[in-house]
Amino acid sequence: FQIEQKLASFIRDSFLTAGYSRRMLGHFNFHRQYVQASISLQVGSRKSPHRWIHHFNDIALTYLLEQTTKKLPAYMICHEKLLSLKYESENGSSQLYQTLRCYLENHQNASRTAAQLFIHRSTLLYRLERISRFLKTDLSDPDELLYLLLSFRLIDMEENK
């Protein structure tokens, strides 16, 4: 811990940047640690250029999403029906896209989601039923929920390019 603090001070005082890998035991993973540290520096410098030190754990999700879109653009990977829901919401014909996003970001807590959206809980439940029918999916399936959450992140990443 003391070495880490001294190294952080040295990096800052020298106006350098560094990438840190995860801690691993043994020397067998040394090359992988180097790769993680390099990725941390590259992705971290883009994501948070004002920081001197970039830890792999802080950029792992960004790296995962970037790797996902290397061969195909985000719109070809994310949930197809979610894109349709997004376009429908952008045209002003519904608020289902924002409702689903809020619901997922609130860990499927209906009361908290309704409060955040300033709607009645029964209105939220009605919207969720409409979303489920529109997407032709089960909003209680963990794999489907993960896919939808990743799709939201991919769409955000694409829009922020």
Joined tokens for residue 1: 């811990």
Q: Tell me, what's the pLDDT at 93?
A: 79
Any bridge partners for residue 55, and if so which? 20
**Quick one: tokens of 135?**
């997407």
- Quick one: pLDDT at residue 9? 93
Helix (H) or strand (E) holding 78: none
Residue 49 DSSP SS3: coil
Q: Give residues with Cβ within 8 angstroms of 77, minimum separation 6.
A: 68, 69, 151, 154
Given this model, what pLDDT does residue 28 score? Answer: 84
Q: At 65, phi and psi to the nearest 5?
A: -65, -40
Residue segments in the chain with a per-residue pLDDT below the cut of 70: none
Domain regions of the chain by residue span: 2-68, 74-159
Q: Give the dihedral sign, CA 85/91/96/99.
A: positive
pLDDT of residue 161: 80
Q: In the CATH scheme, what is the code of domain 74-159?
A: 1.10.10.2840
User: What is d(CA 110, CA 116) in angstroms, rounded to the nearest whole number?
Assistant: 10
